[in-house]
Each structure stands twice: as C-alpha cells, then as structure tokens.
C-alpha cells in the first residue's frame, strides 16, 4: 500500500495566476458554468484582480507538484454597522479525485490561520443551501447557521415592490374573479340556508 504524499498549502500570488487558472476553471465547470465563460473570465482578469486585492486570499493545496484544491478567503465585518473583523470562506473546492483525503481539512486549517492573523472573531462559510453534503461537512466542523441569505435581481425587486402599490392587469383580473366566486358562493350558501 502506497502512502499518500503530504499536502502543502500555500498562498496564490500574482505570479502564480497562470498556474492556478486551470484549477479555477475546472471548479467553475464543476458548479455548472461553461469552460468558455471561465476562460473568458480569466482573460478579462478576474483571478488577477482578486489576487491584487488586500481583502482576498487564495490558497492552493498541492501534493507532488499537482494542485488538488483551493480556498478563497475574504475579510470584512459581519455587517455594515459592526466593525468586528470576520473571515469569510467564499469558495472551497477540491478536485473530486482527491476528496476525502484531507485536502479540504488542510485548506480550512489555512483559512483558520488567516482568520487568526487578521484578528477575526468569526470564520463564516458561504455554502449554497442546495449543497447538502457541503452543509453537513461544515456543520460537523462546528459551523452553525447564522443567517439565511436570499437573493434576487434588482429589477425583480423593483417589480415586486411596484406590485405592492399597483397590481399588474393579470393579477387584478385573478383577484376580481376570486372575489366574485367567493361572493357568489356566499350568496348560494345563504340562499340554501334560508330556503329561497
């Protein structure tokens, strides 16, 4: 039985962008984006821009020179009115061939070290609600739910807010029909009860 090579974790620097890009592209394809979209994002500087920001750290896990996974950690307060620092695990991805081998654990150890380095009181994981396995994994590590994030587009919100003030034509028709049906049913019930 061969022993596994130890996993090392290091920060991705601007000089490492081209070496890191294929792993990031693979992760985006794995979550449903197209390879063309991911390659275009790299060409347009998405990784480079992230690497140049002071509030973002990307760490990559390697063994025998191969990249196995990465974690993207950011830092900001938990809320706009709170100045306590928090570290946020924005993305955690491990190549499927290397899952359940300790790679994610090593990446999370680095995220915890970074959180301590910046003096963060909280380490927050951003896990999509539909990813049950990921949610269970973080729960086993002691991450507790703190908020439920809900998202919408600005246009959809404006339409819904406008709907509170002014119904769409179809919504108004449906509301009137329901009202007429309810009144008719009430009249029929009243007529039956009085013997008319």
DSSP per position, 20-48: HHHHHHHHHHHTT--HHHHHHHHHTTHHH
Residue 43 · residue 83 · CB < 8 Å: no
Q: How far is CA 132 from each of CA 128, 137, 139, rounded to the nearest angstrom?
A: 8, 9, 10
Task: Give per-residue pLDDT as tens, 76-104.
Answer: 887 777 778 889 999 999 999 999 999 99
Q: How far is CA 155 from each of CA 13, 158, 163, rounded to the nearest angstrom?
A: 37, 5, 12
3-state secondary structure of 132: helix
pLDDT top residue among 177 and 193:
177
CATH superfamily of 8-151: Gcn5-related N-acetyltransferase (GNAT) (3.40.630.30)
What pLDDT sits at residue 196? 47
Reported in sequence order, the residue ranges of the chain that DSSP labels E, i.e. its strands, are 8-11, 56-63, 66-77, 85-94, 122-125
Report how far residue 151's alpha carbon sits from residue 153's, in angstroms, rounded to the nearest whole number: 7
Residue 11 · residue 1 · CB < 8 Å: no
Band of residue 127 on the pLDDT scale cut at 50, 70, 90: confident
Report how far residue 37's alpha carbon sits from residue 25's, in angstroms, rounded to the nearest whole number: 9
Query: What phi and psi, each to the nearest 5 degrees, are found at residue 166?
Result: -145, 115
Share of the chain above pLDDT 90, in %: 52
- Give 142's Cβ-side CA count (13 Å radius): 4
Query: What phi and psi, each to the nearest 5 degrees, are found at residue 151?
Result: -135, 155
Band of residue 188 on the pLDDT scale cut at 50, 70, 90: low
């Amino acid at each position: 039985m061969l022993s596994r090579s130890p996993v090392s974790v290091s920060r991705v620097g601007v000089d490492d962008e081209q070496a890191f890009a294929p792993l990031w592209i693979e992760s985006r394809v794995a979550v449903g984006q197209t390879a063309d979209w991911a390659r275009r994002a790299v060409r347009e500087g998405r990784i480079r821009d992230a690497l140049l920001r002071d509030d973002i750290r990307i760490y990559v896990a390697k063994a025998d020179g191969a990249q196995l996974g990465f974690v993207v950690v950011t830092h900001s307060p938990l809320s706009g009115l709170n100045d306590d620092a928090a570290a946020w695990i924005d993305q955690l991805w491990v190549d499927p061939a290397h899952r359940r081998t300790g790679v994610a654990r090593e990446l999370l150890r680095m995220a915890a070290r970074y959180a301590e380095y910046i003096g963060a009181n909280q380490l927050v994981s951003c896990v999509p609600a539909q990813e049950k396995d990921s949610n269970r994994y973080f729960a086993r590590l002691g991450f507790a739910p703190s908020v439920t994030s809900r998202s919408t587009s600005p246009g959809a919100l404006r339409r819904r807010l406008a709907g509170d003030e002014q119904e769409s034509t179809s919504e108004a028709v449906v509301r009137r029909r329901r009202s007429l049906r309810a009144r008719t049913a009430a009249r029929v019930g009243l007529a039956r009860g009085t013997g008319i």
